[in-house]
C-alpha cells in the first residue's frame, strides 16, 4: 500500500482501525496521523506483540480494506 494513500484517507480509515484494534485510543490515532510505521508501533505496544507480528497484521488489514 502506498503510504500517501493511508495518510490521505486517514479520517475514513480511523473508524475501521478502531473496529479491528479496539485497544488503540483516539489519542493514539491522532498521534499516528496515517503513518504506517507508527501504526504498527502502537499496535505492538498496545497488544504486546513483536514488531514483525504488528507489521504482518497491518499488511493483512491493508489488503482486507484495500487501504
> ∠41-56-2 over CA atoms, to 5°?
80
pLDDT higher than threshold 60 for residue 3? no
pLDDT higher at 18 or 67 = 18
Task: Give every CB contact of residue 14 below 8 A, 6+ residues apart in sequence.
Answer: 29
Q: What is the pLDDT of residues 32-46, one digit of tens each?
A: 988 889 999 999 999
Task: Report the distance separating Cα 57 and Cα 39, nearest Å.
Answer: 10
- The pTM (predicted TM-score) of the whole model is 0.82
Amino acid at each position: 500500500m502506498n503510504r500517501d494513500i493511508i495518510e490521505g484517507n486517514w479520517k475514513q480509515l480511523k473508524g475501521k482501525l478502531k473496529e479491528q484494534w479496539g485497544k488503540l485510543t483516539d489519542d493514539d490515532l491522532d498521534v499516528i496521523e496515517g503513518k504506517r510505521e507508527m501504526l504498527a508501533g502502537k499496535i505492538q505496544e498496545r497488544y504486546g506483540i513483536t514488531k514483525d507480528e504488528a507489521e504482518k497484521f497491518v499488511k493483512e488489514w491493508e489488503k482486507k480494506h484495500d487501504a
